[in-house]
């Protein structure tokens, strides 16, 4: 039984193994396992792609799914996360995926929960399966990570994607560049990454990874109009033209069209945004394979 | 791959084929197809019967279902319908059913979505599977449509049922009569249908199709008390007695009992209301067969 | 076809048979039945464990599940419970489980619904599957019921657990003791049970069954602070020490930790709380077996 709580927890060998298994699943090499049992997906924050992606990955490897809706659960009666997960374990659930607004929500589960816990995103902390699918997409494109420059652009300080990705990319030999509004930078990140102007970033980077402006984390006000943000910190059609020939665009989605990314670039030739979504299923199948050790 | 967006889009031959397949499914002639893949049902408006009916039809033909809840999806983060559906396509979903409050919601999906889209009701526009199940129920009863008179009674202007049914019935050779409050009539409908008083309609029609008073579309106020509406525009026990011997009662449900229809008539001998619900599953199986071309 | 509406409805022989089947399922003697069909779970009140437990039990015996969410159903359009259930029957659902805030909600379903209805909790009425799983847990522990003393402690008057359990335990030969705030006692219960002080109850009882303080049924105000309640009416670590060696602690969960039960006792050696949850699945499998007569 192996939890997946953060990227930090994984050795480089483990990361490589997960990417290898994802590649195998992407090639269609997937036999449904009999008797894997039951999964439950506990999403305490809105999500389409992560939840649906896990639902698909679970079905594809042969898990059955016990539905869980946070809004109609006993969490409404004040039940703790531990009691909820322990209940599901006792009912016979074999693996849980949890997204929760609280950083490190999983700490309360480590001692007495005896089924694997997969972090589907914790507050502004980590989002390890998003990170792994990003790595998988980059590896697919460039064959590896050594020497690559990856620019992560936008609301760095609130982004669990930025946090997980910079750590993993550094360990795998890529160089991470940060850009975006200085108000949203995060000093703790810059130890391992360089903060540069966007116009430089788009010209240098092999991967331009745009982050979502998270209106919901800024109380509705981001201090810029969408148009202003787009011109100053967004990947505009103009900036895209200055990217290197082989460079690609990534985004964790959902995209705010014409805010961080020009509408016309979402499905342009360089964009790997929907490829990332497709890869998400294969990566999560690999993560579930590791968790359930089959 | 064949979308189902509106009744207008279907040729008369296609309608006939769908009704034929529905008949086949009603007779129990249904082998589960292996490897049909995955469906997702995106309901952006409340629904019991349409959603459950699709869920059952999908399972019966062998589709697996990826759950989707509008209220906890990224639509809450402002994601467009196109991006939501494209995401599901990339995740591996093979067919989507969508109910949406906006008329013609599907127009944005036509260019770049490569899986079939089935319209489960668009605003005050169309509701093609409801129309097809109504047709199927009428055909089952009368063997065909030529020469039949069908009275559609109630809130014509807000009804996607009225819109789809009058068009299809006219094309198949039936005559459509409209009745109900004049405030709720719709001039654009009357080109192909005649507006008459309710007492005449119930005596003439082979099918009396009562529409739901849609309180939720009238801001709670319909300008009549339920009792007044019932007496003036409802199918009362008295009016039912004046129907022709062979005539039947239909209603798309849910029924407001004792508003548009007397409580005691909901399951009376003439009523095909629950039969319609049963037929809905067979009709939707036929629609899915067409969409997935198996 | 056999409904399960209340414990009163079951003969003692029927109770014994259900407990016997639950034992069989607990031992792993479960072959999935082919072609059992479809279940729907209609929960009009929040629930994690009862809903998930039924979902698991249904899957384990081979039922497929048609999802139902009260909040997005036509109940929002004013549809009656009867019409909702009849719709599901016509769509092809073979068994429904219903939790509903109204006592005896099932009365409207008895005449014209032709699929089994299982009561998953009605208002402050009954909760027969919770009662049966409690009985199963007690039988597992003590081999039977004759001569046992079972103390039910807490908010007796609002508790469907108390109501169902006292009736069943009396019939099976156990003696029921009640304790807790006098304001929350219920004279109608005391005909068959004795009201005693908590300190006496914990020393005498073979089973100390603590009830949840249902904040949501007291409009947020219970007239005690949680600490006061815990000291006066809760099972504290101190009181636990005065229990008989062989006595066990039960609770229908979710637990308000440090209100009715000390946090450290939730998973102590005497506690059968998570065992109850595990037994819930086996008991519900047995109830479904009875309902569908396989």
**Element of type H or E holding A44:** none
Locate the chain B residue with the closest alpha carbon to A273.
B87
Q: What is the pLDDT of residue A216?
A: 63
Q: Say yes or no: B67 contacts chain A, CB-CB below 8 A.
A: yes
Rounded average pLDDT over A110-139: 96
Chain A residues 241-270 with CB within 8 Å of chain B: 253-257, 266-267
Residue pair B200/B178 in contact by the 8 Å Cβ criterion: no
Rounded average pLDDT over C111-133: 95
Q: Residue A169: pLDDT above 90?
A: yes
Select the residue from B36, B87, B111, B114 to test the A interface by mutation, using most A Cβ atoms within 10 A.
B87
Q: Say yes or no: C142 contacts chain B, CB-CB below 8 A.
A: no
With cut-offs at 50, 70 and 90, classify the pLDDT of residue C219. Answer: low
- Indicate yes or no: CB of B277 within 8 angstroms of CB of C92: no
Residue pair C86/C113 in contact by the 8 Å Cβ criterion: yes
Residue range C29-66, pLDDT digits in tens: 877 778 899 999 999 988 878 999 999 999 999 999 99
With cut-offs at 50, 70 and 90, classify the pLDDT of residue A18. Answer: very high
Q: Is A254 annotated as a binding residue?
A: yes
Residue range A57-92, pLDDT digits in tens: 999 999 999 999 887 777 767 789 999 999 999 999
Q: Say yes or no: C30 contacts chain A, CB-CB below 8 A.
A: no
C-alpha closest to that of A54 among A96, A22, A92, A19: A96
Please tell me which residue, C215 or B220, carries the higher pLDDT value: C215
Locate the chain C residue with the closest alpha carbon to B284.
C91
Locate the chain C residue with the closest alpha carbon to A38.
C56
- Indicate yes or no: CB of B52 within 8 angstroms of CB of C112: no
Select the residue from C42, C82, C85, C91 to test the B interface by mutation, using most B Cβ atoms within 10 A.
C91
Q: Residue C113: pLDDT above 80?
A: yes
- Indicate yes or no: CB of C48 within 8 angstroms of CB of A68: yes
- Indicate yes or no: CB of A52 within 8 angstroms of CB of B88: yes
- What is the C-alpha separation between B214 and C28, in angstroms, rounded? 51
Rounded average pLDDT over A91-118: 96
Q: What is the pLDDT of residue B217?
A: 60
Q: What is the pLDDT of residue C17?
A: 97
Nearest to C47 among A74, A80, A92 (CB): A74
Residue range A23-69, pLDDT digits in tens: 999 998 877 778 899 999 999 988 878 999 999 999 999 999 999 98
Query: Lowest-confidence range among A220-224, B111-115, C66-70, C280-284?
Result: A220-224
Provide the shortest C-alpha distance from residue B87 to chain C (in Å): 22
- Indicate yes or no: CB of A87 within 8 angstroms of CB of C47: no
Q: What is the pLDDT of residue C51?
A: 95
Q: Which two tokens stand for residue B128?
A: 């093609």
- Indicate yes or no: CB of C52 within 8 angstroms of CB of A88: yes
- Indicate yes or no: CB of B52 within 8 angstroms of CB of C87: yes
Q: Residue A192: pLDDT above 60?
A: yes
Nearest to C77 among B69, B216, B278 (CB): B216
Q: Say yes or no: A52 contacts chain B, CB-CB below 8 A.
A: yes
Dihedral of CA atoms C60, C65, C70, C74 in degrees, nearest 10, equals: -160
Q: What is the pLDDT of residue B75?
A: 73
Nearest to C92 among B48, B51, B56 (CB): B56
With cut-offs at 50, 70 and 90, classify the pLDDT of residue C107. Answer: very high
Locate the chain A residue with the closest alpha carbon to C72.
A72
Residue pair C121/C127 in contact by the 8 Å Cβ criterion: yes
Q: Is A50 annotated as a binding residue?
A: yes
- Indicate yes or no: CB of C255 within 8 angstroms of CB of A83: yes
- What is the C-alpha separation between A150 and A206, in angstroms, rounded? 6
C-alpha closest to that of A54 among A294, A285, A289, A290: A285
Q: What is the pLDDT of residue B148?
A: 98
Q: What is the pLDDT of residue B192?
A: 64
Nearest to B77 among A46, A69, A275 (CB): A46
Q: What is the pLDDT of residue B185?
A: 79
ipTM over 0.90: yes
Q: Is A31 annotated as a binding residue?
A: no
Q: Say yes or no: B67 contacts chain C, CB-CB below 8 A.
A: yes
Please name the residue that has the structure tokens 């005559």: B175
Provide the shortest C-alpha distance from residue B29 to chain A (in Å): 27
Q: Say yes or no: C89 contacts chain A, CB-CB below 8 A.
A: no
Q: Residue A222: pLDDT above 90?
A: no
- Please give the biggest Cα pair distance in chain A: 56
Domains of chain A: 12-126+277-292 (3.40.50.1370), 128-276 (3.40.50.1370)
Locate the chain C residue with the closest alpha carbon to B214.
C77
Q: Say yes or no: B90 contacts chain A, CB-CB below 8 A.
A: yes
Locate the chain A residue with the closest alpha carbon to B40.
A52
Q: What is the pLDDT of residue C221?
A: 61
- Indicate yes or no: CB of B87 within 8 angstroms of CB of A281: no
Chains that touch A (3 or more CB pairs under 8 A): B, C
List strands edge to edge, sheet with C175-179.
Answer: C193-195, C175-179, C149-153, C207-210, C248-250
Which residues of chain B are modeled with pLDDT < 50? none
Locate the chain B residue with the closest alpha carbon to C94.
B56
- Indicate yes or no: CB of B71 within 8 angstroms of CB of A71: yes
Q: Which residues contact C21 (CB under 8 A, 6 or more apart)?
A: C285, C286, C289, C290
Per CB-CB distance under 8 Å, the chain B contacts of A53 are 91
In sequence order, what are the beta bridge partners of A273?
Answer: none
Q: Could you write out the DSSP letters of every residue in C23-80?
A: HHHHTT--PPPTT--EEEEEESS--SHHHHHHHHHHHHHT-EE----GGGSGGGGT--
Per CB-CB distance under 8 Å, the chain C contacts of B254 are 74, 77-79, 83, 87
With cut-offs at 50, 70 and 90, classify the pLDDT of residue C241. Answer: very high
Q: Say yes or no: A220 contacts chain B, CB-CB below 8 A.
A: no
- What is the C-alpha separation between C205 and C173, in angstroms, rounded? 14
Please tell me which residue, A191 or C180, carries the higher pLDDT value: C180
Our separate counts of H helices and E strands in chain A read 9, 9
- What is the C-alpha separation between A202 and A240, in angstroms, rounded? 7
Residue range A268-280, pLDDT digits in tens: 999 999 999 999 9
Chains that touch C (3 or more CB pairs under 8 A): A, B
Backbone region of residue C218 per phi and psi (left: phi > 0; alpha: psi in -120 to 50; beta: other values) = alpha
Per CB-CB distance under 8 Å, the chain A contacts of B71 are 71
Chain B residues 200-219 with CB within 8 Å of chain C: 215-216
- Indicate yes or no: CB of B56 within 8 angstroms of CB of C66: yes
Q: Say yes or no: C60 contacts chain A, CB-CB below 8 A.
A: yes
Residue range B200-257, pLDDT digits in tens: 999 999 999 999 987 766 655 667 889 999 999 999 999 999 999 999 999 999 999 9
Q: What is the pLDDT of residue C6?
A: 95
């Amino acid at each position: 039984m192996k939890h997946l709580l953060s990227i930090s927890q994984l050795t480089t060998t483990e990361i490589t193994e997960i990417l290898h298994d994802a590649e195998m699943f992407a090639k269609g090499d997937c036999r449904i396992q009999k008797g894997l049992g039951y999964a439950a997906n506990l999403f305490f924050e809105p999500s389409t792609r992560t939840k649906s992606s896990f639902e698909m990955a679970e079905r594809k490897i042969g898990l059955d799914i016990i539905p869980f809706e946070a809004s109609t659960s006993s969490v409404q009666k004040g039940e703790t996360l531990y009691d909820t997960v322990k209940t599901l374990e006792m009912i016979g659930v074999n693996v849980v995926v949890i997204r929760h607004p609280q950083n490190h929500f999983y700490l309360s589960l480590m001692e007495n929960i005896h089924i694997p816990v997969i972090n589907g995103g914790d507050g502004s902390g980590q989002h390890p399966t998003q990170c792994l699918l990003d790595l998988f997409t980059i590896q697919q494109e460039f064959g590896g990570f050594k020497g690559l420059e990856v620019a992560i652009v936008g609301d760095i300080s609130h982004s669990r994607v930025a946090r997980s990705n910079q750590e993993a990319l550094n360990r795998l030999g890529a160089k991470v560049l940060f850009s975006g509004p200085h108000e949203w930078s995060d000093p703790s990140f810059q130890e391992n990454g360089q903060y540069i102007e966007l116009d430089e970033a788009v010209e240098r980077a092999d991967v331009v990874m745009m982050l979502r402006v998270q209106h919901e984390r800024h109380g509705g006000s981001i201090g810029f109009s969408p148009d202003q943000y787009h011109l100053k910190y967004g990947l505009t059609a103009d900036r895209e033209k200055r990217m290197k020939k082989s460079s690609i665009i990534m985004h964790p989605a959902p995209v705010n069209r014409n805010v961080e990314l020009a509408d016309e670039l979402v499905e342009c030739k360089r964009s790997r945004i929907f490829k990332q979504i497709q890869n998400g299923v294969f990566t999560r199948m690999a993560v579930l394979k590791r968790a359930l050790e089959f």
